[in-house]
Amino acid sequence: MDTAGVNGISHITFIVSDLDRTSHMIEHIFDAQEVYSSGDDTYSYSKEKYFTINGIWIAIMQGEPLPVKTYNHVAFKISEEYYDDYLERVNALGLEIKTGRDRISGEGRSIYFYDYDNHLFELHTGSLEDRLREYDDKGGDK
């Protein structure tokens, strides 16, 4: 299949039980800007809000939370110099931090945390290039 027409990710949507609580989390941790709120209108499946995080469109919609926590996640790139600041932001909201996996030195650091509806987020300081270089240096598969 030709993927030349795919330009990137359009948006990411999360179904959340409390729009206001999740709005606060997104704004506090990610410095997100709210750009739309449906209020009582439901043009889609339910009430919703849109945010931008450094140009990334994030949507949240009112609904039932995920029934279980999994390792499925969305990872946002952060600079190493802001790692401790982001860790403080997550801790300030009392969110559950998940212990990260063992890492090879040089592939970056991560903060994994669950939101109020069992979505897992990652704040990661590395890049794909960093990871592949480290795996290659260790003799791993590409």
Whole domain around residue 53: which residue ranges?
Answer: 1-64
Same domain, 78 and 18: no
pLDDT by position in tens, the chain (length 142): 566 778 888 999 999 999 999 999 999 999 999 999 998 887 888 999 999 999 999 999 999 999 999 999 999 999 999 999 999 999 999 999 998 776 666 678 899 999 999 999 999 998 788 778 877 776 654 4
Same domain, 126 and 80: yes
C-alpha distances (whole Å) from 71 to each of 31, 111, 114 are: 24, 13, 10
- The pair of three-digit structure tokens given for residue 76, joined into one six-digit string: 């946002």
**122 included as an active-site residue:** no
Do 29 and 51 form a contact (C-beta atoms < 8 A)? no
Q: Which of 48, 64, 107, 129 is catalytic?
A: 48
Same domain, 39 and 78: no
- Looking at residue 69, its amino acid is K
